[in-house]
Structure 1
Amino acid sequence: MARLQQTFKQGDVSRAVKGAMAGGIKVESVEITPGGKIIIKAETDRPVVAAGSPLDEWRSGRGAR
């Protein structure tokens, strides 16, 4: 049986994970598709809360609708 062509190398995965960590992302897991696409799943420590705009804050302080 013939060997399949490699779609990724260990160095590719290492660079992707190191880049994500350098960007402040906590890596939970890494998934590699058969086509060689590297998917990094990040940990979620806290829920994402959308901050209101300054206009929304001003309106809520004045009792406006």
Structure 2
Amino acid sequence: MTARRTIVSQSEIKRTLQAALSAGLRIGRVEVDHATGRVVVFPEGAAPQAAGPDPDELLK
């Protein structure tokens, strides 16, 4: 069985983080989706976004 080719390599993630740091961004969280190759860098102190409207508010 042959090895599966990675969509996102460790060196690509490292370059992304170095670029963010050199731009002055204080990194709070990093999400990597290996299935799609998407790398998302969140700044320090950024609140996670809700997936949708609050169900309690919809029932009022």
> TM-score, structure 1 length as denominator?
0.58
Which is strand-richer, 1 or 2? Answer: 2
User: 5+ unaligned residues in a row in structure 2: which ranges?
Assistant: 47-60
User: What's the CA shift string for 1:1-51, capped at 9, x where partnerless?
Assistant: 764331011110000000000000001111111211110011138xxxxxx
Count of residue pairs the alignment pairs up: 45
Which is helix-richer, 1 or 2? Answer: 1
Q: Distance in 1 between matches of 2:2 and 2:31?
A: 25
Identical amino acids, percent of aligned pairs? 20
| Rg (Cα) greater in structure | 1
RMSD in angstroms over aligned alpha carbons? 1.8
> TM-score, structure 2 length as denominator?
0.62
Structure 1 residue 37 corresponds to structure 2 residue 38: yes
| Deviation beyond 3 Å, 4+ runs, structure 1 | 1-4
Higher relative contact order (CA 8 A, sep 6+): 2
